[in-house]
A and B are shown apart, each in its own frame.
Chain A
């Protein structure tokens, strides 16, 4: 039988000298731990949030994959044209540059159109993420209030939600990049020949893909800041009262 009184005494003994004085803190490791749990437990909600990122980033990486593929195809065509030109020159002693300026203009117009599409898709993606972050924050008002009662500063709450958003953003972006990239590569290879992957510039491709992941994560972070800050600033009593 446990001696309850004795335990109670030990449990509530103040050990001031052992404590680190007046500090309160939430180490990053603990925040990451809590965020991972929140994501894995609410997998459904996380998947909905992540799907916004997946779509946006898949589109972005598709466009960039397409760009690299087209560059490779054009480069290839230009090389063939040059070879043809040289052969022609050798044969006829004439100089013919077929439509070089037109091709450059068209490429430029296409790039501008694509940038617009990318910007739009990223905006849609950001709105989607902030919306689902807002929902997941609202769902957890009471939890936030409880954490505040336990001594959490507003910044701890923000930190937990931002780490969560970053996790979701990274996961969603990686999935999105894989989908978008494979989709783009398959489509262009089908059009331009299955040896296309050997012709494209892989350093450029990888840079674009890495950039897509980073952009996805950053957008998820930015989109989460507002809901997280708003939730954290709620007075503890109000947060506790909310019924969900």
Chain B
């Protein structure tokens, strides 16, 4: 967010770089807007740095994370030095165009793939130091995953999908069924316990996936384009549900998306482009931007 003054009519304008002409006199303010934006980004970066200096409540930290995919002779750099601190209880969105490295970052944070260099810490534990067993434990208990394609096990019912991670966690079968029912009720599917994934709509499948992600009370929910395969309304419902969970239980939510409409629930938005963090926006800035988007739609 930036405040600039039109140099023709002296009107004060708030802008996000979306509007680059003066609404009163129509003067082109592109250069001024770009400069203001640069200052804002620098300020935001400073603010984030300040915060990391004052508190250690970071549940995820990445340092110099890079990932290069080798496709025969060709090397594809997917991440090029990502430093990111994610606070406990935060709702963080990772925005970026398709191919910018969101899923790659998601895989690194979730311990699903190894970085080419750099490190990723979860609760100050370096993932690279973990054994296969500890990694599985982490995936089972600490992190809940949500995918664009839902990824439910097709041969299992909603309840069985939700209880599968609890089996791995060694929960007793009574406790498991009770908790599974409760979670499905929580996501509004109390009456669909015994439906198979193909008997459910996309939105309902994603709800099952959310319930499954919550199975073992994770500290982090990683969602890779959770609304990518859903229509706008259903997508918004899913986002609202994630936000409810975030506020209600304090679970940290890290969600990759390329849909601008999904960011108004975020505490921070990390914009990535070509495998690098472009800028990070904070809540206050986002609210103003969303307000502006709303005004534009209304007007």
Contact = CB atoms under 8 A, between A and B. Distances in A.
Nearest to A153: B136
B209 to A, nearest CB: 10
A109 interface: no
Interface string B140-181: 110001010101111110000000110111100000000100
Interface string B174-191: 000001001101100000
A24 B133 contact: yes
A158 B60 CA distance: 31
Interface string A1-43: 0101111111111110001101111110010000001100110
A149 B145 contact: yes
A30 B110 contact: no
A2 B248 contact: no
A152 interface: yes
A150 interface: yes
B169 A19 contact: yes
Contacts of B86: none
Contacts of B154: 41, 143
A214 interface: no
A4 B139 contact: no
B247 interface: yes
B13 interface: no
B217 A26 contact: no
Given A5-B244, A240-B147, A153 B155 contact: no
A24 B137 contact: yes
Interface string A136-175: 0000001101111111111010000000000000000000
A12 B214 contact: yes
A5 B248 contact: yes
A39 to B, nearest CB: 10
A11 B112 contact: no
A8 B249 contact: yes
A113 to B, nearest CB: 45
A151 B140 contact: yes
A135 B112 CA distance: 24
Interface size class of B (residues with CB under 8 A): 35 or more
A27 B172 CA distance: 11
Interface residues of A, number: 44
B168 A237 contact: no
B168 A149 contact: no
Contacts of B165: 150-151
Most chain A beta carbons < 10 A, residue from B154, B155, B182, B183: B155
Contacts of B183: 11
A7 B214 CA distance: 12
Given A14-B217, A24-B168, A235-B112, A154 B155 contact: no
B179 to A, nearest CB: 8
Contact of B168 (A9, A143, A156): A156
A218 interface: no
A15 B186 contact: no
Contacts of A12: 214, 217-218, 245, 248-251
A236 interface: yes
Most chain B beta carbons < 10 A, residue from A20, A149, A236, A237: A149
Most chain B beta carbons < 10 A, residue from A2, A11, A147, A236: A11
Interface of B: 107, 110, 112-114, 132-133, 136-137, 139-141, 145, 147, 149, 151-156, 164-165, 167-170, 179, 182-183, 185-186, 212, 214-218, 244-245, 247-251
By Cβ-Cβ distance, the 5 closest A-B pairs, closest first, are: A151-B140, A8-B248, A12-B249, A237-B113, A5-B248
